[in-house]
Every structure is written in C-alpha cells, then in structure tokens.
Structure 1
Amino acid sequence: MSVVRIAGGVTTAAPQRSVLLAWLLAGAGILSQVMFPLTGGGTLPLTVAAVVLLAGASVAHAWVSRGAATALALVGVAGGLGLVAEAVGVATGFPFGGYDYTGTLGPEVLGVPVLVPLAWTMMAWPALLVARVLVRGLVREPGGWRARAATTAVAAWALTAWDVFLDPQMVDAGHWAWDTPAPHLPGVEGIPLTNFAGWLAVAALLTGVLDLVVDCLVDPDLARHRPSLPEVLQRDSVPVTVYLWTYASSVMANAVFFGRPSVALVGALVMGVVAVPLARRAWLARRDLGAGW
C-alpha cells in the first residue's frame, strides 16, 4: 500500500495495478450475474463464479486499500463467523430458524457449503464500507462508541437487506429449504421472519467485530487523518459499486426476469434505505472530484 500527501493531510492511494485487479474481479463477477436471467435464474457454475469472483474482489480491495492483515481479517471474521453461524443454524435451527441445505451447492464443511462463507465474505466488506460512508457526519466523534455502534447498525441492515433478494432466489433454485416458512415478510413468501432476525444478529456481530479489527490494523499515521467524503468514495469505489450494482440488478432481475415483483418491491424498499442515500452521496462526490474516478 502506498501513501501520498494531499492538501489537508495524508491519504491512501492503492497502486493502480492492484486496484485494477479488484476492478477486474468485480467486473467478472458482475458479468457472471448478468448471465443469470439468460439461464433461467443461474446455473451452479455461474453461481460459483459470481460468488468466488466477487469475494475475491472484496478481499483484493481490502488488501490494496488497507493492507494484507486487513484482507486476512476479512476472510477470518466474515468467512469464519459466517461458517460458524451457518453450521450452528443447520444443526440447531438457531438463529435463522430450521433449514437444510440440499447438497446442490458443492463441497461442504460442517454441513455448510463452502460457497456460503464465501458469500458472507463477498458482501460483508461492501456492507461495512457503505455503512462507514453513511455514518460520516452523523456523529461528532468519528472514532467513538456512538460512531461504531451506528456503523454496526447500518452495516447489519445493509447486509441483511441483501438477503431479501438472495433467499427467495436460492430457495426457488432448490439450494436450501425451510422447515417452517411462515410467518414471512409481506411480499416475500416462503422465507420466515426468523431468518431475517437471525441475519440481523449475525450481521451485527460480524460487521461490528470486523469494524473494530480493521481499525486496529490500520497504520496509526493513516488513522489520524480523516479523509474527505470524496476521497473515501474514491478509495472505496469498488465495494461501493458492487453494493449499488447488487441493489439495482436485484430489483431489475426480480421485477422483470424472475417473476417475483413483490420481492422486487419489498427488496427495493428495504435495501433502498441504504442504497439510495449511498447513490446520492456517491454522485455528489463524483461531481466534486470530477469525472476522473
């Protein structure tokens, strides 16, 4: 990771080649997802490709923007806690409710497909970083407990909201099944409310720990400098783009291609709580910086 000085302090500037790798992985993952509607909702190879590539993009971005230790922490915290939560969930029904994987997602560890903790890793990083963007300016002490609590709350919502789209797609594809799919979120039939409550709890634990660990691993010289919002969005443009793409493409796919208009509507509202203000901030930051990022 390189450091450059700018007016007003110090900021990180990841080497262009390294940033390009994260962009290439994200672009390839997005291209894999574009193929889903053309294959009737996706095939196993496309699903594996999308998850592996986008998880790789998150890890690569964590590495080039904040160092190798942060990338390893992302894998350990998001992937590790995600695996533990899923293994406990399959074995006991807590905290998501009773469900079973059907063996269609490839190799498993502790009864959980390897692809699943990769999916937690894939979206935990964007969820945390977009939460940090949205919390900026809402609290007086950027490093204080109020900021950390607010970041965890927003990140947990951002991550859970994605599952409003994900779970119906995976259940319809036959990758897992719920023991008791009711009561459910209005418009999202077949997915119990306990699932989303469990997601909120696990996502809060996961992103809260990750937020703290990442701050502990950041170079102290860099931690003392609080970059402007445009600088933050420029540095974290890869995960921000992935999150906004996930929102827009999920709404479109469910509304137009998958025949789930109610899921599209509910997901648009729930995930839009995060995605819409994020898009506005990104647009304003792009305008302030110019069209160069």
Structure 2
Amino acid sequence: MASVELPARARLERRLDEVVEDNRFTIAVVFPAIGAITLLASAEALLPGPLNFNPYLLLFGIAVMRLPLIAGVAPLITRRTAVSLLALCGYTYAIEAVGVVTGYPYGVFEYGVNLGPMIGGEVPAALPLFFLPLVVNAYLLCLLLLGDLAGRTAVRLPVVVAAVVGMDLALDPAAVSLGFWGYAAGGWYYGVPWTNYAGWVLSAVVAVGILDRAFDREGLYSRVERCQFMLDDLVSFVVLWGVINAYFGNWIAALLAALFGYGLWRTDRFDFPER
C-alpha cells in the first residue's frame, strides 16, 4: 500500500517531537545546569564583560528549554487556541506595564538586568516566553496529579492558581538575588514583598482562566499523559532555579523548586532515554 504523505504541519510537528525526544537530557538538564552556572558567574562578575548577563545568550537558552513544551502543545493549537494565547500575551504585557509604571499589583520594582528588546522602554518583549510557560506547566502538572478531580472546575482552577503562585515563590527570590529585578522597599521573603504575591494571585487567576478555556481539556490531558517530554520544561525550572536558590541560601525557595521536582517524580517524568 502506498504511503500517504503527511501535511506540512504534521511533518513539522513530528520532526520537532523527534528532535526533542532525541535530546531530552541535554535540553532539560544540561542546558539549565549550564544556565545556572553562567548566571551565577555573571552575578559574581566572573565572565568577560559582554558575556555577563548577555541577553541574547539568555533568551537563546530559555527558548531551547521551552522546546519540549512547544512541541507538546503544538498539535493542540487551533484557531481558537491561538486567539486565546494571543489574548493571554496581551494581558501579560498590559499587567506588566501597569506594574512597572504604577507599582500595582506587584509592588514598586525595576529591572536590573538587560532582558533583551523592550516595548516602550518598560516591558521586555520576551515577557510571554517567561510567563506563559509557568502557567502552562502548572496546569499540565496539576492535570496529571489531580487525576479524576481535574474534571471539577472548583478543584482544578484553585489548585492550578496555587501552583502558579508556588512557582513564583521559587523563581522570584532567585531572580532578585541575581539582580534581574529588585523591589524598592525590599521584602520579607528574600527581598520580595508580599504585594508581589498578591499581584501574582490576580495574574494567575486571569491567566489560568483564559488557558482553561483555550484548550480542549480532555485532549490536553491525553497529550500530556502519553507525551513523556511535555513537562521537561518544568524539569529545567527545577534544576535552574533550585540550583540558584541553593547558591544564595534561599532555602525555602529551593525547597519549593524541589517540591515541583517531587510532583514530576510522582507523575513518572524522569525517564530520559539513554543515548
């Protein structure tokens, strides 16, 4: 029987799956480990000037670590999903711009490291690349951990919102310690004020609500259940921010990163193939 040629999109998705599958350990462990070392060396001014917090190396590393998530969700993207994700990107830019200009809802802060091109000189153009994966990873992990309970909106949404805020409780102290950004008044939690997390609750509620309507939940669950690499971006998160927090002695934040690692272990997501 003659083989049927796949449409261009299907071929691209299959090829992306193959690239990620063949390089899982490199993408999910080696890249964030090198990233942690490079960022810590930059914070200590140990690298040659242009390499200290080089924004293009930073963005390249983040983009590579996002590949498993991109490959995982790609087959599920419909026109409706694309519109919803664009709306979520717009919301991300808008609330960040309000935060930078007014200090609400996160507290007064400013960026201390060049994170690449800026929109209006205020908001990093790559912001969705930083924020959206946190929400999607939290959503996917909670779908797997909740099982049948994930079908109940009153359970699913609050748990995912809590997971998103938990991820920022692990991320923000490390970012502040590195000097990525800082809060004018400091804060009780490793230099981060409580207002930041109140703002993250607001951001997470809106973002999770949009995401929940963007995808077919059953299709998303089916994909993440059978696609072992789909949460590898969260593995990178655990390695990168866990190491950085441990270096700076942010032990509560480091333990929170480890807690997400435990969640990944519970869902059997550490089966990197030997090559």
TM-score (norm 2): 0.74
Which residue in 1 is equivalent to 2:205? Answer: 204
1:58·1:239 contact (CA, 8 Å) conserved in 2? yes
- Residue by residue, what CA displacement relative to the aligned partner does 1:131-160 show, whole Å, maximum 9, x if unpaired? 211222236xx2xxxx22322222222222
Aligned-pair CA distance for 1:54: 3.2
Alignment of 1:8-157 (within 5 A): 16-23=14-21, 27-28=26-27, 30-41=29-40, 43-44=53-54, 45-64=56-75, 66-69=76-79, 72-73=82-83, 75-102=85-112, 104-110=114-120, 111-138=122-149, 142=151, 147-157=152-162
- Residue by residue, what CA displacement relative to the aligned partner does 1:61-85 show, whole Å, maximum 9, x if unpaired? 2112x13447635742443222122
Aligned-pair CA distance for 1:171: 2.5
Q: Residue 176 of structure 1: which of 151, 175, 181 is its match?
A: 181
The yes-or-no answer on 1:254 pairing with 2:266 is no
Q: In the comparison of the two structures, how many residue pairs are matched?
A: 248
The yes-or-no answer on 1:233 pairing with 2:225 is yes
Bigger Cα displacement from structure 2, 27-36 vs 94-103: 27-36
Aligned-pair CA distance for 1:20: 2.3
Question: Which structure carries more relative contact order (alpha carbon 8 Å, separation 6+)?
Answer: 2
**Aligned equivalents of 2:264 and 2:140: distance in 1?**
11
- The amino acid that maps onto 1:211 is D
- Secondary structure of the 1:137 match is helix
**Aligned equivalents of 2:148 and 2:97: distance in 1?**
38
Aligned-pair CA distance for 1:35: 1.5
Aligned-pair CA distance for 1:86: 0.7
The yes-or-no answer on 1:267 pairing with 2:253 is yes
- The amino acid that maps onto 2:90 is G
- Residue by residue, what CA displacement relative to the aligned partner does 1:4-55 show, whole Å, maximum 9, x if unpaired? xxxxxxxxxx964242245578744754322234335253233211222334
1:244·1:279 contact (CA, 8 Å) conserved in 2? no
- The amino acid that maps onto 1:61 is G
**Aligned equivalents of 1:19 and 1:52: distance in 2?**
16
Relative distance call for 1:205 and 1:22 in structure 2 (3 A) is farther
**Aligned equivalents of 2:242 and 2:79: distance in 1?**
35
- The amino acid that maps onto 1:33 is P
Relative distance call for 1:55 and 1:91 in structure 2 (3 A) is farther
- Secondary structure of the 2:179 match is coil
Which residue in 2 is equivalent to 1:162? Answer: 167
Relative distance call for 1:125 and 1:31 in structure 2 (3 A) is same
Q: Residue 266 of structure 2: which of 280, 287, 293 is its match?
A: 280
Unaligned ranges ≥5, structure 1: 1-13
**Aligned equivalents of 1:245 and 1:193: distance in 2?**
26
State the Cα RMSD in Å: 3.4
2:161·2:201 contact (CA, 8 Å) conserved in 1? yes
Relative distance call for 1:274 and 1:165 in structure 2 (3 A) is closer
Percentage of pairs with the same residue: 22
Relative distance call for 1:131 and 1:233 in structure 2 (3 A) is same
Unaligned ranges ≥5, structure 2: 1-11, 43-52
2:241·2:257 contact (CA, 8 Å) conserved in 1? no
Which residue in 2 is equivalent to 1:8? Answer: none
1:32·1:49 contact (CA, 8 Å) conserved in 2? no
Aligned-pair CA distance for 1:243: 1.4
